[in-house]
Copies of this chain bind each other. A is one copy, B any other.
């Protein structure tokens, strides 16, 4: 498992492209591609779908990699242990269940 930036770099190199070439596809200049690969800047979310197409990967997987990096940043900002992610998963499931129940109640 790598960061989103490293993932991008790997895929780019697999295809034998420079940051400049690769960026051009998504309208990103080279210096920004560098920042993105090194985690100093975010890949533009609006281009994630196009990115998935280009890499011939499942959009959801690409998006997960992207969003995961944002979550990791947040967790580190608050100096949380990695437990926080499974707590979050439980919470998310709990909320979804709750929403289902409420939706059912409406009928």
Give A residues with C-beta under 8 Å from B: 1-4, 45, 60, 63-72, 74-76, 78, 80-95
Contact = CB atoms under 8 A, between A and B. Distances in A.
Q: How many copies does the complex hold?
A: 2
A93 B82 contact: yes
B88 A75 contact: yes
A51 B76 CA distance: 21
* Dominant SS among interface residues on chain A: helix
A87 B65 contact: yes
A85 B86 contact: yes
19 contacts: A1-B90, A1-B91, A1-B93, A2-B94, A4-B91, A63-B78, A64-B81, A67-B74, A67-B75, A67-B80, A67-B88, A68-B87, A71-B84, A72-B91, A72-B92, A72-B95, A76-B92, A85-B92, A86-B89
Contact of A88 (B45, B85, B90, B94): B85
Contacts of A88: 67-69, 71-72, 75, 85
